[in-house]
Amino acid sequence: MAVQAEALVSAQWLANMVKRNLVGPRLRILDASWHLPVTGRDAKKEFAQSHIPGASFFDIDECTDRDSPLDHSLPSEEFFSEYVGNLGIGSDSHVVVYDASDLGAFSSTRVWWMFRLFGHLNVSWSPGTAARSQPESAEFTATMNRSWVRAFEDVAENITAQKFQLVDVRSYGRFRGLEPEPREDIPPGHIPGSKCMPFDMFLGEDGKMLPTEKLKKFFEESQVDLGKPLCGSCGSGVTVCHMVLAAHLCGVPGVPVYVGSWFEWFSKAPPEHKLSEAKN
């Protein structure tokens, strides 16, 4: 039976593990920082300058399907197994992910979700905390839970079938079509029938996930029913995992993700299925 870790661990818990020299094959820490190009930040360079002792860098731009034209498409089971094995992660490792976003979290929930998607439930997320180490490679076997992923066709069918609630975690402005997307060739807007729950609103001012009761209230105020099927979306399948983690903490594990998200949707959907309040 697969070991399932607590979804959240505190920065203090992680600091204690580091202080006690417990980072190793049984506990692997991953810096999963990634920044939008418009920020001008280079996550790899920042990692080289400062990171939690013993942490390795998880590059979501590298751990992807390199043959796909879409950003952050999912890698194969074989590629994921090799990639994380080379980070010293074995099938019995407890993995803790964090990132160095000014918000407290931006991209690390995506990596938390990827491990769970590929069958590794022994993974936790921690709020960002600010001698590079190279761990020995380990044996890791990934098995994707394909029920946790939705394709373009699933989302297109859902416009009329309404089998699930689609939650978009981009900002209200991008969702409504009134603020620009970070990719200049992709106008803003949203998928018909989707609800907006901006990812940063799942976090408190301290960068930590809101308490469960406040998360439930946010879902309720956003008219998203946790008792009915959900699916998440964002720009390219990264920040959507804030919602997946929040739902998990509210007792709804395994919320599927539309990985292609708005970037794929705008590229493939007919004009009438790309809604925007922007004036032409």
CATH code where residue 15 lies: 3.40.250.10
To the nearest whole percent, how much of the chain has pLDDT over 70? 95
Catalytic residue among 231, 234, 241, 250: 234
The answer to whether position 134 is within a domain reads no
Q: Which domain holds residue 185?
A: 146-273
Mind listing the pLDDT tens digit for each residue in 148-162? 999 999 999 999 999
Residues 251 and 167 in one domain: yes
Burial (0-12, 13-18, 19+ Cβ within 10 Å), 244: buried
In-domain check, residue 111: yes
Is 136 domain-assigned?
no
Phi/psi-derived region of residue 172, left when phi > 0, alpha when psi is between -120 and 50, beta in every other case: alpha
Give the count of alpha carbons within 13 A of 128, CB side only.
22
Q: Are residues 172 and 214 in the same domain?
A: yes
Q: Are residues 63 and 168 in the same domain?
A: no
Q: CA–CA separation, 93 vs 90, rounded Å?
A: 5
169 in the same domain as 120? no
Judgement on whether residues 113 and 168 belong to the same structural domain of the protein: no
Overall domain count for the chain: 2
Taking residues 82-88, what's their average pLDDT?
96
User: For the segment 192-237, what is each residue's pLDDT rounded down to a tens digit?
Assistant: 999 999 999 999 998 899 999 999 999 999 999 999 999 999 999 9
For residue range 29-74, list pLDDT tens digits in order. Answer: 999 999 988 888 999 999 998 899 899 999 999 999 988 888 889 9
| CA–CA separation, 239 and 202 (whole Å) | 11
**Same-domain pairing of 206 and 160:** yes
234 is catalytic: yes
Average pLDDT over residues 123-152: 81
| Together in a domain, 117 and 151 | no
